[in-house]
Each structure stands twice: as structure tokens, then as C-alpha cells.
Structure 1
């Protein structure tokens, strides 16, 4: 066994630091791969005031027909300086034939969303299939998320929310820019 084998016991194709080719079902969404950052605005009737936030979203894969999704957000002041963490979530986007997408997103606040949707003409529209809540989580009834790849380097994000007795309505929007290659 060589020193390299001791450091990386996986075959080259399975090593975590080696990126395999994307699965063929990822072709429609391959433009999402990478890390995206930017700023946005949010609000909701249960909040005292609207807010500005910074966001980082990463889409990655391991060669199978799904994307790993991770997003983090921070409240920011008028100058764009981070004030505190605002949100964090992680999950999987399961790509199916003909652009169908099944998405699982979990948040540390005790909310898990299962969304279904479609990739079409550079946009992804996901709507609630089910929401699971931990016993002490905020009551969320439904969400809708839209991701639009406006060009190779810009991703627009809109999130609608139905929670704590309010109808489905606008909650967040952001414009993100690609930070690294695919």
C-alpha cells in the first residue's frame, strides 16, 4: 500500500475530492453547479419590519442523479455588513426524466420540506408536496421556491411562504452570482 492509498482509501472515481461527470439526468440543471452568493430582501406579516440579507447557495453532485443543496443566510445592515446568521438549510434535489424534480430540504429550526416541480426554460418552480415539523417548530403549511438562471453567472431566487395562519405570500427574494466554476 502506498502513502497515497493510505491517505485516500477510495478508488479515484469515489474519492470525495474528485468530481465525477454529472449524471445524464442532471444535464438540464448543470448550470446550477457551483457556489452562488448575493443579497436579497425579505419580509413577512409576523415580522416587525422588512430586512436585507446575504445568501450563499451551493449545488454539488457525486455522479448520481441528484444535486446536494446547501444554503446559508445572514442578516445584513445598510452597508452589507453581516449582523448575525439568519437561516441555514440543506437537502437533495432528485432529478427525474423530462425535467421533473423532487426536492427535500431540512432546516435546523425543525422544518423539513418536500417539494416537487419542474425545470423549464432556465427556471425551476418548486411547490410543497409535504411539510414535516418538529414539535416545537414554527407552523409552516406551504412554500413555493423559484430559481431562475438568467445567464451563466446570475441566479434569481424567490421564496413564498404560508406560515402561522397566513396565506401563501412573498417572503424572500435574492439575486445571486456565480462564485466558482462548475
Structure 2
């Protein structure tokens, strides 16, 4: 059954503004790395349950070399503004983040981070993320804390919906 055939679960209507494919670009900064520019594609799909499935795929803007990949689910507690994001990252991190949806803004903060045993240092200790739709532009900002750097902005990107 394709996504278009699944009825939209009543509980996820407050998240429906995310549905679809988005493309855009962003800038990565962090005290321990060189700044970089990237291109990214996001997709949020209806699965017929009180959640959206998502994927984030980024590449280096100049070289087109694959960078970060993330897949997961954005859940909402029915009848509330509480949301949870369950995701797996290609760098060996699994994340459960929780927060709120308020209009067309989602704020999330990691509650649990798992890490594969042979992940490279530094260790990610906490993530904070916001997604905001302003007009037809989706904005994402991600902050990261590692075992060597306190909570600091890491990524900032803007996207347009693919028609």
C-alpha cells in the first residue's frame, strides 16, 4: 500500500506540514573541524500510524561525497504536543529525542544516545534540533555536545519542498 493510499492518522495532523520531500543546503561548523557546505534531501512520509517516517541524506556541496545519513520515525503522543524522534545515524549513533510541536516548529533534545562499540571519537553526548517552517522554507538547526566540546551549534540548513 503506497503512502498516498494510507489515511493520515488523526494524531499526526499537527505534523502534516512536514510531509513530502525537501531539498536544500546548509553549513556545518564545529570547533574541532573545518567549516563545510552541504546539500541535503529530507523526506517525511505517512505510514498510517501516529508517526511519520523520515530520511535525511547529505553530501558535500563541492565534492558530492556522501556525508551524513539518518533514518527514523517522528512520533506524536496522540492528543498532545509531545513528540519523539527515534533515529539511526550512519556514524553508529542511535538516538531517542523528545520535545514539542508548536504550530510549525518542532524542538527536540536527545534523551538517549546509543553508540556502536567501534565508533570514532569524539563521542556524541547530546543533540538538540529544531525544525521550523516559515512560509515555504523549512529551517533546521542542530546543536551537538561531545565528550570534548560543550553544546554548540553544528548544522544550519534551509530547504524547499520538491513539487
Task: Output the TM-score relative to the length of structure 2.
Answer: 0.93
Q: 1:117 to 1:17 in 2, by over 3 A?
A: closer
Give 2:76's match in structure 1, choosing from 95, 117, 123. 95
CA contact (8 A) 2:14 2:103 kept: no
Alignment root-mean-square deviation, CA: 1.2
The residue aligned with 1:57 is: 42
- 1:169 maps to 2:152: yes
CA displacement at 1:23 relative to structure 2 = 0.4
Give 1:142's match in structure 2, choosing from 96, 115, 126. 126
Cα separation, 2, equivalents of 1:94 and 1:17 = 16
- 1:179 maps to 2:162: yes
Note the alpha carbon deviations across 1:7-58, whole angstroms, 9 max, x for none.
Answer: xxxxxxxx236432210111111010000000110111121x2010001000
Q: 1:17 to 1:24 in 2, by over 3 A?
A: closer
Greater gyration radius: 1
Is there any run of 5+ residues in structure 1 with no aligned partner, and where? 1-14
The residue aligned with 2:111 is: 129
The residue aligned with 1:4 is: none
CA displacement at 1:99 relative to structure 2 = 1.4
The residue aligned with 1:43 is: 29
Answer 1 or 2: which has greater strand percent.
Answer: 2
The residue aligned with 1:74 is: 59
Task: Output the TM-score relative to the length of structure 1.
Answer: 0.84
Is there any run of 5+ residues in structure 2 with no aligned partner, and where? none
The residue aligned with 1:113 is: 95
Q: 1:135 to 1:106 in 2, by over 3 A?
A: same
Alignment of 1:11-50 (within 5 A): 15-16=1-2, 18-47=4-33, 49-50=34-35
CA contact (8 A) 2:29 2:36 kept: yes
The alignment of Structure 1 onto Structure 2 pairs a total of residues equal to 160
Runs of 4+ in 1 over 4 A off after TM superposition: none
